[in-house]
C-alpha cells in the first residue's frame, strides 16, 4: 500500500512539474560522432579512459572460454534501468503519456473536461490532487492507464509514440536516448549477453518502443504492472484499476526474479531517485563475476545536473566499488541523432 | 482466493494419487527413431499425414517474406503448456518434487516427522488434509515451496532433478519428454519462433530444467508464482507463503500478458484438465495467422488414455477448428530416449 501511495504521489508530482527543461540540448548541436563501431571500437561515443577500459576488460574476460571469470551464455543477463539510464528522465515520458491520454479522452468525450480528474489536469489545478489525496490520484491513474483491453492500450501507446515530442523542444522522444548506452547494449549483445530493461515505468508503455528504440523485445521488459483479468467472452485481457507491482527500488529484484529468474551479471542504473541501488546490489550477489554501472547526471551543459539530497546512490557506489559514469567526462556525445 | 483454494486442492489431490502408473512404457521399448532431422524431415517422429502437413504448411507460409500470412520475427511467439503437452503428467513431476521436499526436510530435521503437515505426508494420512481443509494445505505448500531464499529453492530444485525418477519405473524424469514435441520446438525455433512454456506448474521448478530439457531459457517460462520479497540485508529474494498467480485456465492469458506482452501465434496444450482452452482461444485472437494444437491422450499402450468428463477441450477444438494431435496415429514414437 505504501508503494501504491508512493507511486501515485510520484505521478502527480511529475504531472505538474512539466516545466520547460533547459538542460536538454537539441541533437543538432551534438557532437556528430559515427553511431556504429568505429575502427574496431565498439563504444565510439565513450571517451577513452578507465571506465571504458574497465567495461571492455570485463566483457572480454567473462566471455573468454577457459577464463576463471567465464560466464556461460545462459547466465549473461544484463539489466538496464530506463528513465535516466537509457534515455533522459526530464521530463518523464510516462508523464507526457498521461497528459496525452487525458487530452485524447477529452477529445473523444468533451464532457470529461468538466469531470474530475480530467478537469484538474486540463486546468492544471494542483489543489484538486492535493486536497483529494489518494482517492483523486487513483482515479486519475485508473482513468488513463486501465479499464480497457490490452489491445486498446497498446494502440494508444503506439499512437502516442508516433509523433511524441519533448514539449517546447521539437525533439522527437526517440532522440532523448543516450547514444553511448545504445552502443553498450549492442556491444553486450554482440558478446552473447541478453539485455533487459528493468524500469519503474509501466511495462506496456516501455514495451511499446523497446524493440524500435533499443532492440529489446517486449518479453524482456520488467516494469510496473497493473492487475490483469482475462475476459473469455470478448477474448481480451483487461487492465484492472489496481497495481500489481511497482517496480522501483527494492521491488526491482522482485521483478527480476519474476520475469528473468536469475540475478543479472551486468546491471546499470542511475543516480537521481535512488531507484537502482537494490538492483545493483542484487546483481553484485551473483555467483559469477559481475559489473555494476551507475550513471551520474553531472552534465548541466549537454544534459542535466541533479543529485539525490542524501547522495544515496553515489554513496552506495563508492562503498560497493560500483563503476560510475561521469557523464561529463566519460561520454563523448550524449544523445542519439535519430 | 478461489484460485488459491483450487490450487491447494489440486496439490493435495495429486499428492495422494501417486499410484504406480501402468501406461508409461520404458523408453527401451520405444521405437528407436533418429532424434534429429532425417533426410530433410524436421519432424521425423511425427507420422506422415494431415496434421504433420498442416504444421509444416503453416510454418512455411508465415515465414515466407511477401506471403500474405507473413509474421515478423518479433511476433513469432510460440507457447507450450508443459504437463501433458511437453512431458507426461502422470505422475505430475511437481507432485514428486513436493514429496522429495518433505523427505529432505524430515531428513534434515527428524523431529518434523512428528509434526504436521509432514507427519501426514509421510504416513500418507489423507484424513489430515481432508479434515484440516485450507489451513492444512496452505501449511503444506508453504512448508515445502516457500519460506526460503530463491537461491536455496533453486538449489533444492537442482538436487531433485539430478536423479529424479518416475516411481516404480526406473525412468529418469527427463525421459518422459515427448520426442515429437522436442522436434516441434526445434523446428519452430529454426524458423525464428521464440518458444515459451506457459504452465500451471510453479515457475521456478520448471525453470530448473527448461534449458536442459527443452532448450528454453529461464526467462521464457510463464508459470504459477508465489509472492516474493527482497531482503536487502541478506541481499536475497525471499519466497513468501502466498500465491501471486495460479497460471492455469483463464489465468494463462494473464500470465502471457505479464511475461510476454503479446498474443502467441502458435499455442499448444493438451486435453485432460481443460487447462489450455483459454490460452488457445487467446492465441486465436491474434491479428496474425495463428495455429492452435491440442494433444489428445488416447494412447493407452504407449502413454495413457484419459479424457475430460465433459470433453471441454476436445469440444472447444472442434468448435474452433483447432488442430488435434491424435497421439496414437500422429506420433511415430512418444518418448525421448535420453
Q: What is the mean pLDDT of residues A205-211?
A: 97
Residue among A211, A218, A259 minimizing CB distance to B219: A259
Give me the pLDDT at residue A137, please: 64
Instruction: Spell out which residues of chain B touch residue A196, defining contact as CB-CB under 8 Å.
Output: 219
Instruction: Spell out which residues of chain B touch residue A259, defining contact as CB-CB under 8 Å.
Output: 219, 259
Q: CB A219 to CB B253 under 8 A? A: no
Residue A214 reports pLDDT greater than 50: yes
Instruction: Spell out which residues of chain B touch residue A254, defining contact as CB-CB under 8 Å.
Output: 228-230, 237
Give me the pLDDT at residue A33, please: 35
Closest Cα in chain B to A257: B237
| Per-residue cell: B107 | 531428513
| CA-to-CA separations, B156 to B98, B152, B197, in angstroms, rounded | 11, 6, 21
Q: CB B250 to CB A230 under 8 A? A: yes
Q: What is the mean pLDDT of residues A168-194?
A: 96
Summarised one tens digit per residue, pLDDT across range B193-250 is 999 999 999 999 999 999 999 999 999 999 999 999 999 999 999 999 888 998 999 9
- Whether B108 maps to a domain, the answer reads no
Residue B324 reports pLDDT greater than 50: yes
| Per-residue cell: B186 | 526445434
What is d(CA A313, CA B72) in angstroms, rounded to the nearest whole number?
A: 41
Summarised one tens digit per residue, pLDDT across range B170-196 is 899 999 999 999 999 999 999 999 999
What is d(CA B135, CA B132) in angstroms, rounded to the nearest whole number?
A: 6
- Whether B14 maps to a domain, the answer reads no
Query: Any idea what DSSP says for residue B23?
Result: S
- Whether B159 maps to a domain, the answer reads no
Give me the pLDDT at residue A126, please: 82
Question: CA dihedral in degrees (B1, B7, B9, B11; nearest 10)?
Answer: -150
At residue B311, the 3 state secondary structure works out as: coil
Q: CB A228 to CB B254 under 8 A? A: yes
Q: What is the mean pLDDT of residues A60-74?
A: 97
Give me the pLDDT at residue B117, please: 83
What is d(CA B203, CA B224) in angstroms, rounded to the nearest whole number?
A: 5
Instruction: Decide if A112 contacts A106 (C-beta within 8 A).
Output: yes
CA distance A190 to chain B (A): 18
DSSP H or E segment with residue B163: none
- Whether A34 maps to a domain, the answer reads no
| CA-to-CA separations, B162 to B42, B97, B156, B159, in angstroms, rounded | 30, 12, 10, 5
What is d(CA A251, CA B228) in angstroms, rounded to the nearest whole number?
A: 9
Q: What is the mean pLDDT of residues A37-55?
A: 94
- Percent of all residues in chain A with a pLDDT value above 70, rounded to a whole number: 88
Instruction: Spell out which residues of chain B touch residue A218, defining contact as CB-CB under 8 Å.
Output: 74, 260-262
Tell whether the torsion through CA atoms of B20, B22, B27 and B28 is positive or negative.
positive
Mean residue pLDDT of chain B comes to: 89
Q: CB B232 to CB A281 under 8 A? A: yes
What is d(CA A288, CA A229) in angstroms, rounded to the nearest whole number?
A: 38
Residue among B207, B218, B261 minimizing CB distance to A204: B261
| Per-residue cell: A310 | 542524501
- Whether B275 maps to a domain, the answer reads yes
What is d(CA B204, CA B150) in angstroms, rounded to the nearest whole number?
A: 9
Instruction: Spell out which residues of chain B touch residue A199, defining contact as CB-CB under 8 Å.
Output: none
Q: Which domain holds residue B326?
A: 40-91+166-330
A300: left (phi over 0), alpha (psi -120 to 50) or beta: alpha
Instruction: Spell out which residues of chain A touch residue B285, defining contact as CB-CB under 8 Å.
Output: 235-236
What is d(CA B159, CA A65) in angstroms, rounded to the nearest whole number?
A: 26
- Whether A313 maps to a domain, the answer reads yes
- Whether B267 maps to a domain, the answer reads yes
Q: What is the mean pLDDT of residues A302-320?
A: 97
CATH number at residue B276: 3.40.50.1000
Give me the pLDDT at residue B36, please: 56
DSSP H or E segment with residue B7: helix B2-15
What is d(CA B133, CA B9) in angstroms, rounded to the nearest whole number?
A: 9
Q: CB A235 to CB B211 under 8 A? A: no
Instruction: Decide if A323 contacts A51 (C-beta within 8 A).
Output: yes
Q: How sure is the predictor about B338, in pLDDT bands with cuts at 50, 70 and 90?
A: confident
Residue A22 reports pLDDT greater than 50: no
Q: Determine whether A275 is exposed, middle or buried from the number of CB atoms within 10 Å of its CB (0-12, 13-18, 19+).
A: buried
Instruction: Decide if B315 contacts B159 (C-beta within 8 A).
Output: no
Q: What is the mean pLDDT of residues B119-148?
A: 81
- Number of structural domains found in chain A: 1
Q: CB A232 to CB B285 under 8 A? A: no
- Whether A69 maps to a domain, the answer reads yes
Least confident of A22-26, A161-165, A259-263, B260-264: A22-26
Query: What are the φ/ψ torsions at residue A248 (nearest 5 degrees)?
Result: -135, 160
CA distance B195 to chain A (A): 12
Summarised one tens digit per residue, pLDDT across range A80-125 is 999 999 999 998 898 889 889 999 999 999 999 999 889 988 998 8
Q: CB B232 to CB A285 under 8 A? A: no
Q: How sure is the predictor about A247, in pLDDT bands with cuts at 50, 70 and 90?
A: very high
Q: What is the mean pLDDT of residues A14-20?
A: 41
Interface of A with B (CB under 8 A): 74, 77, 150, 194, 196, 203-204, 207, 211, 217-221, 225, 228-230, 232, 235-237, 244, 250-254, 256-262, 278, 281-282, 284-285
Amino acid at each position: 500500500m505504501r508503494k501504491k501511495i508512493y507511486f501515485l504521489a510520484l505521478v502527480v508530482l511529475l504531472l505538474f512539474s512539466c516545466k520547460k527543461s533547459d538542460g536538454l540540448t537539441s541533437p543538432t548541436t551534438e557532437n556528430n560522432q559515427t553511431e556504429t563501431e568505429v575502427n574496431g571500437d565498439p563504444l565510439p561515443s565513450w571517451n577513452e579512459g578507465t571506465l571504458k577500459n574497465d567495461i571492455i576488460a570485463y566483457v572480454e574476460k567473462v566471455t573468454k572460454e577457459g577464463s576463471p571469470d567465464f560466464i556461460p551464455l545462459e547466465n549473461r543477463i544484463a539489466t538496464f534501468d530506463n528513465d535516466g539510464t537509457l534515455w533522459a528522465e526530464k521530463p518523464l515520458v510516462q508523464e507526457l503519456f498521461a497528459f496525452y491520454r487525458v487530452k485524447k479522452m477529452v477529445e473523444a468525450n468533451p464532457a470529461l473536461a468538466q469531470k474530475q480528474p480530467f478537469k484538474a489536469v486540463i486546468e492544471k489545478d494542483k489543489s484538486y490532487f492535493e486536497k483529494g489525496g489518494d482517492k483523486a490520484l487513483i482515479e486519475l491513474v485508473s482513468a488513463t492507464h486501465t479499464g480497457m483491453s490490452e489491445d486498446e492500450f497498446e494502440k494508444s501507446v503506439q499512437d502516442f509514440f508516433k509523433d511524441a515530442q519533448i514539449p517546447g523542444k521539437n525533439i522527437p522522444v526517440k532522440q532523448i536516448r543516450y547514444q553511448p548506452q545504445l552502443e553498450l547494449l549492442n556491444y553486450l549483445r554482440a558478446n552473447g549477453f541478453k539485455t533487459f530493461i528493468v524500469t519503474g515505468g509501466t511495462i506496456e508503455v516501455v514495451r511499446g518502443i523497446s524493440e524500435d528504440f533499443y532492440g529489446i523485445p517486449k518479453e524482456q521488459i520488467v516494469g510496473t504492472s497493473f492487475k490483469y483479468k482475462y475476459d473469455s467472452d470478448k477474448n481480451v485481457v483487461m487492465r484492472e484499476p489496481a497495481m500489481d507491482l511497482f517496480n522501483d527500488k527494492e521491488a526491482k529484484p522482485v521483478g527480476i526474479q519474476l520475469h528473468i529468474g536469475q540475478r543479472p551479471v551486468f546491471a546499470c542504473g542511475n543516480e537521481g531517485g535512488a531507484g537502482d541501488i537494490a538492483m545493483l546490489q542484487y546483481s553484485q550477489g551473483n555467483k559469477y563475476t559481475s559489473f555494476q554501472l551507475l550513471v551520474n547526471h553531472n552534465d548541466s551543459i549537454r544534459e542535466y545536473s541533479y543529485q539525490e539530497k542524501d547522495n544515496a546512490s553515489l554513496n552506495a557506489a563508492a562503498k560497493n566499488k560500483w563503476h560510475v559514469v561521469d557523464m561529463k567526462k566519460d561520454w563523448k556525445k550524449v544523445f542519439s541523432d535519430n
